Amino acid sequence: MIAYDAFLGAGNSWEELCYRSMFHGGDSDSTGVIAACWFGATYGVNGVPERNYKNVEYQDRLRAVGEKLYTLAFPVDAH
């Protein structure tokens, strides 16, 4: 519930999402990951500081898989 509330309350602000979902005394690692996944699915990396993802291992492969999944989910109508 904390992750969901944080996601809804933060809007498209990555910084606000971090404050609401990651910086609290509860199970902050779990709520942070869940909220960050929803944020990424909704906004991509827009608004996320590049330092948070620029050194991710296998970044090229992950981007390629993400683009392929997007293409499969939202195919361009050939008609």
Q: Does 12 map to a domain?
A: yes
Tokens 């981007």 map to which residue? Answer: 63
pTM for the predicted model, two decimal places: 0.77
Q: Is residue 28 a known part of a binding site?
A: no
Instruction: Consult the annotation and say whether 29 binds a ligand.
Output: yes
Burial class of residue 17 (count of CB atoms within 10 Å of its CB; 0-12, 13-18, 19+): buried
Tell me if 32 is assigned to some domain: yes
Tokens encoding 54: 């620029």
For residue 61, the enclosing domain spans 2-73
Q: What is the pLDDT of residues 54-70, one digit of tens each?
A: 999 999 999 999 899 98
Is 77 marked as binding a ligand? no
| 3-class secondary structure, 76 | coil
Indicate the number of domains in the chain. Answer: 1
How far is it, in rounded angstroms, from Cα 27 to Cα 29? Answer: 6
pLDDT number for residue 78: 57
Q: Does residue 79 fall inside a structural domain? A: no
Domain-embedded: residue 78:
no
- Please write the tens of the pLDDT for every residue from 5-56: 999 999 999 999 999 999 988 899 999 999 999 999 999 888 899 999 899 9
